[in-house]
Structure 1
Amino acid sequence: MTQDGERVAVEGDREDRISDLPRNVIDRILELLPVQDAARTSILSRKWRYIWAMLPSLVLDVYLYLGLRRKSRSNFKEAVDDILLMHMGNIVKFVLDAYVLDDSEACFSSYDKSAVIDRWVLYVTRNGVKELALCMSDDNTYRLPPSIFNCLTLTQLMLSYCVFKPPNSLVGFQNLITLALSKITFVPTTSFCVIKAPRLASLTLIGCHGTQYLNIVSPGLESLDIYDSFYYILLNCFMNCKNLRVVRVGIDGVVSYPEHNEKSTLEKLLVSVPALEVLCLDSFNVKLLSKDIVPNGLPFTLNCLWHLVLTVDFDKLGPICCALQLIKNSPNLSKLEIWVHVISDEVEAVLKYLDTPSCLERTLDKLEYVAISDFKSSKVELSFVKLLLSRTPSLRRMCIVQRTDIDIDIALELMRFPRASPRAELFYSQHKFLALDMDV
């Protein structure tokens, strides 16, 4: 045999390069594949036969369902049962898009469907699951089983379209760090729906019902996001979260409760979080803060705040005044984002206010980046920009973005505004998004 032939023979006996990779690397490669594709690797060799069955991450989603349909096997339930039956070892991450059961199992009753999902959830909670994500159908009838509330290994929990009613014997999510709830219906056990999570760092609530019953017991909470809540949320349940650093509140509307003062509740929340670094408020919440603040101003100072995002009605004196008060009361503000909400012709009072020295009497020494989005080139907006440019000696970049065509006359007027910072750059463009490197 020639030397080349010997080399070919030797190389042919060697393991392939992928099989020689460390096991954690192989696991990561297979985790990136749909489950059915990962299962196909079992035919490669004896070494690969059971690797897929020991993967710590299972994602059972619509891609698995579509793959089954392409093979004329649309029984999603049987496929998941087989996967769990053959699995070996802990399941660290479990993602289930359960709404595909509505298509694949047309004969299912609501009870049968819940019983099947309860069985799957019980299995993974007994096998060391740390990251659990359940996305149900939009009928909001699935009630979370006790196995979720009693799972001590959970560190990340994401739920959609479920009924959240903790059992009376709930000890709490002792190791939970991230909790994201979307379209959840909270049902109180007694008078409140209590969530005990001593290590919780991040909480997100999106479009949830029954938030007026919610009570969070998590003194270490650092990030709070509340969007599109359909009912009044008692923000005072977060008053004891002294470590809150990021607060984002976007509520289009709330049910009025005469016994509660929304404005004072929002103010008290901001007063009670001395470590707050990032604050995002939509126009509704700016309106709540803007009530009756003239001429006394906001009764708090946000000393740690460095990033402020506001949606402002530029045609109303209250929201403009409140926005400037928040800016003034944030002595370490570095990044400011303004989203223009509405503009009308009735702005004489606002223009008059922006011309008064008291509206922004001090310089903003730390402000470096400003972004104004949905700019409409109104007189009020131009006066606001002119005011900021004259009070920001540390400004490095201001981006003004509008959706309509660029107005050359407006661009020239903006460029002629005096700037307190000699190095300030002004960008005026037409885009759908801003890029200011504003990492939160």
Structure 2
Amino acid sequence: MTQDGERAVVEGDSEDRISYLPRNVLDRILELIPLQDAARTSILSKNWRYIWATLPNLVLDYRLCRTLILESESNFKEAVDDILLLHMGDIMKFVLDTSGARLSSYAVIDRWVLYVTRNGVKKLTLQVSNFDTYTLPSSIFNCSTLTKLTLFKCVFKPPNSFLGFQNLITLYLQWTTFLPTTTTSFCVIKAPRLAKLTLNSCHGTQYLNIVSPGLKSLYVRDNHYYLFLNCFINCKNLRVFELELDDMVNNPKHDEKSTPEKLLVNLPALEVLHLDSFFVELLSAQVPNGLSFTLNCLWHLSLGVDFGKMGQIFYALQLIKSSPNLSKLDIWVDFTSNNAEAVSKNLNTLACLERPLDKLKYVDINGFESSEAEMLFVKLLLSRTPSLLTMCIDQYTDIDIDIALELKRFHRASPRAKLFY
């Protein structure tokens, strides 16, 4: 400040440095603030007048949509119409999340989806309702530019003319219902470039037929019906496979191709496998006498195990033995029992692992409860892993001092092995 109270001008103080940042930086700044605030930057100066209108990514997230809808549904529709009407150039990413409120009609959403699919959208996310399902319009199935599609609570019924998603790389579907076309008994998804697929609590998988020979990552979670897996039987290039089941449900109509066992046999390139305890239980019932195949490429195995059931422990050991190049093992203790005498009797013998696990370096055991079966399992692994570097045992409470001393006394085949608990 000068003596007369006027603000002194510092060199460079009058410059508008932000406006002259690279365009990709300006776009990123505007993407980090709510879209309404980004639109308000148009009044800052001539340089800022049209920047927000050419943003390649339009994110109408839960907070923004809910705020507008609570004001009035008509205001919400008008606001989105204005955003799309004033937008210039291609829309690379479009996110719409109206799950926090009911809309009287989804016709307006069909119109918005039609607009963005005609303007080069590559990444599309739709979460329309928590209360109803949204039937996908034909414009999505006709969009050839899509590389990533994320859908929540939608009805997936391709039109008869559907030729497939030719450029789709990532597909995430949650609470989605598959329906066959009117001329076939399947819901066929042709996606030759699809690399990553997630099916989370979806319905109608018995109608699903995936035509994607290049699929590399598959995550499936089911919590209502028996899961049909035969649609993935030809995904020979699968590298990552995760299966979770919230409950055991019998389905007498499933055929042999629907079983996880039959699927695993057909995945020669599999590198990462995660099975929760429900699937381990299902597989242990299907293969009571051991595995008939080898997972030569598998290096990371994650299993949920009920240590009160010898069948699950036996199958877990079979998977471990059938993975000669296994480097990392994660065990998630689902349940345990100190009265499992049969489990303890069988685990207290090296016959469970005839050959040493020469490649296994890292073991994590989560939810450890210090039961006799778990202790013998740890003892067995330590004695048969000459390459082991670390074993981490995690439980919800501190391990008892006596348990800690016993763990420390277990023989270790690897002189470099470190035990953390």
- Name the CA distance, whole Å, in 1 between partners of 2:374 and 2:47: 67
* Map 1:258-407 → 2, pairs under 5 A: 258-261=252-255, 265-291=259-285, 293-294=287-288, 296-407=289-400
**2:191 paired with 1:191:** no
SS in 1 for 2:77: helix
How does the TM-score come out when normalised to structure 1?
0.89
Give the distance between the partners of 1:180 and 1:305, measured in 2 at CA: 24
Residue 139 to residue 65, structure 1, CA distance change in 2 (3 Å) = closer
Aligned residues: 412
Give 5+ residue unaligned stretches, structure 1. 1-6, 429-440
Aligned partner of 2:147 in structure 1 is 155
- SS of the aligned residue for 1:291 comes to helix
Q: Which moved more, 1:59-68 or 1:281-290?
A: 59-68
Report 1:28-427 matches (<5 A): 28-65=28-65, 68=68, 75-102=75-102, 108=104, 113-189=105-181, 190-253=184-247, 255-261=249-255, 265-291=259-285, 293-294=287-288, 296-427=289-420
Aligned-partner residue type, residue 275 of structure 1: A
Decide whether the 8 Å contact of 2:98 with 2:127 is kept in 1. yes
**Counterpart position of 1:433:** none
| 1:237 to 1:292, Cα distance in 2 relative to 1, 3 A | closer
Cα gap change, 1:168 to 1:292, in 2 (>3 Å): closer
8 Å contact kept, 2:338–2:373 = no
Identity level (%): 69
Task: Write out per-residue CA displacement over residues 356-392 of structure 1, whole angstroms, 9 at most, x where no aligned residue.
Answer: 3321011111111101111110000000000000011
Asked if structure 1 preserves the Cα contact closer than 8 Å seen for 2:256 and 2:262, the reply is: no
Aligned-partner residue type, residue 11 of structure 1: G
Offset at 1:117?
0.5
Superposition TM-score, scaled by structure 2 size: 0.93
Cα separation, partners in 2 of 1:141 and 1:293, compared to 1, 3 Å: closer
Secondary structure in 2 aligned to 1:99? coil
Residue 140 of structure 1: CA displacement?
3.5
Look up the SS of the partner of 1:19 in the other structure.
helix
> How far apart are residue 138 of structure 1 and its match?
2.5
Q: Over residues 107-128 of structure 1, what are the superposed CA-to-partner deviations in whole Å (9 max), with x where a residue is unaligned?
A: x2xxxx2101100000000000
For 1:377 and 1:264, how far apart are their aligned partners in 2?
36
CA RMSD of aligned residues (A): 2.0
Q: Which runs of 5+ in 2 are unaligned?
A: 1-7
8 A Cα contact 1:140 1:163, kept in partner: no
Q: Secondary structure of the residue that 2:189 maps to in structure 1? A: strand
What is the CA distance between 1:345 and its match in structure 2? 3.9
C-alpha displacement at 1:101, in angstroms? 4.5
Cα pair 1:286 1:319 within 8 Å, conserved: yes
2:4 maps to none
SS in 2 for 1:127: coil
